[in-house]
Structure 1
Amino acid sequence: MIDHSLLETSKLAIAETRRLAGAVAFAALVGLAGCQSIETPDTIRIDREQGSQENIASLSSVIAANPRDPEGYNVRGSAYGRAGQFSRALDDFNTALQLNPNFYQAYANRALVYRNMGKPVEAARDYNAALRLNANYDVAYIGRGNIYRQAGRIDEAFGDFNRAIQLDTTDGRAYHNRGLIYQLRGQHDKAIDDFSKAISLSPSAPEPYNGRGISYVALNDDENAFADFNHAIELDGKVAESWANQALIYERRGDKARAAKSYAHALQLDPKYLPAKQGLDRVRAGG
């Protein structure tokens, strides 16, 4: 039996999430609208190869050979989830839990699928079930903490992230998400410490660099902020938030031409990303 949820693998969870679920605005701190920090919601990056006929056939063969082994269903459910086939994923997790009602990892995997289906109540219920079975399961605390945070239940979210950290989690999301709460509370020195820890655990993820950069901006340390935003772009040039953050530094420096170029690039990546649109409107209006 695996020790960690296949869908919420600690080393991949940050690197594989992109969607902004509710960025934190710091306009009052920096004097500019649109300065925002990236979250790392637990979403599944769709990977069609995981749901290929060959892969599913291979996993189905394992199940056929061991139809009473819940692990096989958990693994195939994870593959279905990664392929975006959520109904089939739920079916497999349900079967795994019928075979082993104490399979806490399957509860956490099913919770993540529910989150991707826009069902936070069901997801929270499954995280709670996982924690009843294993009160030291850091993945479930992090997942439930994100549900609390996105529902505005900040103190409860903070408690869950703290608990995961007290359990010596190696999942950088716990530090990253606690850092977002420190940002929200204006405790930027603590936020920077948490983002730095997240970076040490997940150095290839752009999100904590963006988060730390925002706190640097709030402390008027534009040089370190700019370095973090640029490094986030180096790690993954397809994240709109990174380019908008870089543009913000250009804007603060008075370099409206470069700011406009970076804001425009952010909009190419995500035409609905409001901070980039607002930033581009500002620099063009002031030009």
Structure 2
Amino acid sequence: MKKYILVFILIILPYCDSYSQTTKQDLYQKALEQYYASNFNEAIKFFSDYLAMDTQNWEVINYIGLSYLGLKNYPKAKENFSSVIALNKYYTKGYINRANVYALEGNYSAAERDYRDAIKYDRENLEIYYGLSLLYINSREYNKALIELNTLTSLDPKNSRAFMNKAIVNMLLDDTAKIFENVSESLYWDSNYLYQDLDKSLIFTISERFKYALSVMNESVSKNPNSYLINFNRGIIYYMMGNFSEAIKDFKKARKLYKGEDGKIPELIDKIIRISKFNS
């Protein structure tokens, strides 16, 4: 009898293992589907179920953190990113994501520390320099922001986001010529939506972190509503935030207000209006 039981166990074990693996894969796939559909609560449930079977999986924990970030639950997001770092100190995304949370909370020194730690393990990760540039924009250290963006473009000379972000820094520095130069170069390298390859929750994060620059431009527009340049500048910020409907309004107003003789400026405005419409 014992022999029959042993044979039965030996026969059924591979099927049980296969079922377990399939279940894990299904859970992971369902979790990703919910995450990319911005159903973050559902994503957390599926990722947590997966984690119950694989407790040391730092990539899954990172996704749970990103899901909480998408929900703007910063303490839970930070807690999960800290767990990621504890499990794998070489996993750069853990530092970057936790830095993003610190930045959103206004803890700029802690954010900067995490970004700098990330550089130790992966100095070619472009999101580090992009995050630092946003950090310095919000702390009003504009020259430092440009230094980080110059580092980024030295690593990736065709990075569209970097040039558009340089334009925003130059807005805050009142360097008109550089604004149009940066926007033109950004659109030259990539005429598609800048964030199409980013995680959903990171897009929300970036949008939140442009609020300071937007507040500056809103004040400028209220003081100078008929300035083509100020309306154009605010349109760029809305564009970077993914708010294309508001961006288009500002770009159209800027186009109407522009009375200069430089034909390249209306051409540039028309181009970014087309791109914004395509992505809206």
TM-score range, shorter chain: 0.5 to 0.7
**Residue ranges of structure 1 left out of the alignment (5+ in a row):** 1-63
Counterpart in the other structure of 2:30: 76
Counterpart in the other structure of 2:92: 138
Counterpart in the other structure of 1:269: 244
Counterpart in the other structure of 2:43: 89
Matched, 1:160 2:135: no
Counterpart in the other structure of 2:20: 67
Amino acid of the residue matched to residue 126 of structure 2?
Answer: G
Normalised to the residue count of structure 2, the TM-score between the two structures is 0.59
- Would the alpha carbon gap of residues 262 and 191 (structure 1) be closer, same or farther in structure 2, given more than 3 Å must change? closer
**Residue ranges of structure 2 left out of the alignment (5+ in a row):** 1-16, 195-206, 259-280
Bigger relative contact order, structure 1 or 2 (CA pairs below 8 A, ≥6 apart): 1
Counterpart in the other structure of 1:126: 80
- Would the alpha carbon gap of residues 161 and 78 (structure 1) be closer, same or farther in structure 2, given more than 3 Å must change? same
RMSD of the TM alignment (CA)?
4.0
Mapped to 2, the partners of 1:232 and 1:187 lie a distance apart of 22
- Measured after TM superposition, the shift of residue 225 of structure 1 is 2.5
- Measured after TM superposition, the shift of residue 189 of structure 1 is 3.7
Aligned ranges 1:80-119 → 2 under 5 Å: 80-119=34-73
- Measured after TM superposition, the shift of residue 154 of structure 1 is 0.4
Q: Secondary structure at the match of 2:20?
A: coil
Q: Secondary structure at the match of 2:135?
A: helix
Do the aligned partners of 1:165 and 1:174 also contact (CA within 8 Å) in 2?
yes
Q: Secondary structure at the match of 1:118?
A: coil
Amino acid of the residue matched to residue 113 of structure 1?
Answer: S
Give the structure with the higher percent helix.
2
- Would the alpha carbon gap of residues 117 and 201 (structure 1) be closer, same or farther in structure 2, given more than 3 Å must change? farther
- Would the alpha carbon gap of residues 183 and 265 (structure 1) be closer, same or farther in structure 2, given more than 3 Å must change? closer
Do the aligned partners of 1:238 and 1:269 also contact (CA within 8 Å) in 2?
no
Normalised to the residue count of structure 1, the TM-score between the two structures is 0.58
Counterpart in the other structure of 2:165: 211
Comparing 192-201 with 230-239, greater Cα deviation is found at 230-239
